[in-house]
Structure 1
Amino acid sequence: MTDEDGNLLWFGNYTGWGKLKSETNISGTAHQPFRLQNQYCDRETGLHYNFFRYYEPDAGRFVNQDPIGLFGGSNFYMFAFNISRWLDPLGLKGKSKRSCEEIGQDIDRLINRDKRKCNNGGTHGLRHRFNEQINGRNGPGTQSWKTHEQEIKNQQKSLRDRLQEWNDSGCGSPPSGAWKWATKPVPQPKQWKNPAVPRSTVETGAKVVAGAGAAYIVYRIVRFLPSLLPPLWGTIPANAAIP
């Protein structure tokens, strides 16, 4: 622990599970009640407080059951899988603390991955997804367009989460251009420019299909109306079977 000028006031040595083995109070007046994982030490009991329950540093586990039950895992008393790489600041559920290099690799993958270099396995990064949405064969109005649009949004959400993790881990300035891809508006129908299929053809085709469908419905209604008269009820089955 240091003061506002960076002068060392206190330092300690810990066991692997966070118990304070020794401490040196250089100033003689420094009060340092915090332990690994930012737990607050109760000197009377020797337990570490994690907001929702107490942690026992000798055993490396909580002394109270997890208040969120099985949502925190099958072991109600476990702190985490690895104390040097996992955190549980609230005493509810451990989460992995990854290195900046690992987070950076995730960010790069979400933006730049080219699945064509991996035998078409997995998914493209956002850079390639945007390009394929704009230049792909399946244009606006198709199910493929809608599916890819939602996948782009989901991938952008994952990228924003990774960028937040990058910031929370103190990794410095985010990778160049990362936030641009995380917040870029998804391609709009007017941006689609597949040269193989003119837009007018797609729009005309959609109108023709819609018009034909409406005309057929009207035809079926007109054809069926006479069969609703009581003397002609016997013709209903045959009329219904005819296209």
Structure 2
Amino acid sequence: MSVALVTGASSGIGWSTAVELARRGASVILTYGSNEAGAKQAVATIEQNGGRATALHLDLGRSDTFEAFKTRVADTLRAWDDELHVLVNNAGFAQTALFQDTTEDLFDRFYRVLLKGPFFLTQTLLPLLADGGAVINTTSSSTESAEPGYSGYASMKGALVVLTRYLAKELSPRRIRVNSVSPGATRTRLGGDAFEKFPEVIPALAAQTALGRVGEPDDVAVAIAALAGADGRWITAQDVEVSGGFGL
């Protein structure tokens, strides 16, 4: 791999993925929404280890900004004299609401950020993506586990799984592989730092996980990196659950 773009890389899975891809030799363009400090920390970590990275702001819920973002990405690629080979659609947010309590505003935000955003960002960046490249979408094991409170969130992640298969089909003439990874309970900042605020939920989640603990961002990052690189060269159109056996 040469250049990888990772959205939502200021913390959690995105942060770990950016660092892991850099460790495997990629130059990394990473994006952030509100957490600029976290993005700069990721860049610093990559540079301290001899890698190359830059952070760009991106509001995934604002598809009208994607063309301007594409221009900034293209400028970076020219400055690096390189091509974009990997796109990781990771940015998102999580919020629980029972079906009967889900408002249209929340539903629309889920749609804009979790489905419309990756759809049109990928479409916008497609001319920059090299033939033989890879797209990895971050989905969620909530599409299968059906826990109360995730109907809106999981519906969009489920649609992203479907989109993954269609992109794999339509981009195959360019040998672009498209897969998704489906994390289970993972210790990230999603849900308003829920793990930090409510540590008492961790033992219960670990008890539901076959391997006996909650996931760490690095657990998911190595799976994404494997799919992005030569190890995943013959894998496409797959949704790979990376959950330690959550719900088994």
TM-score by length of 2: 0.22
Q: Which of 1 and 2 has higher RCO (CA within 8 Å, sep 6+)?
A: 2
Specify which structure has the higher proportion of strand: 2
TM-score by length of 1: 0.22
Q: Rg: which structure is higher?
A: 1
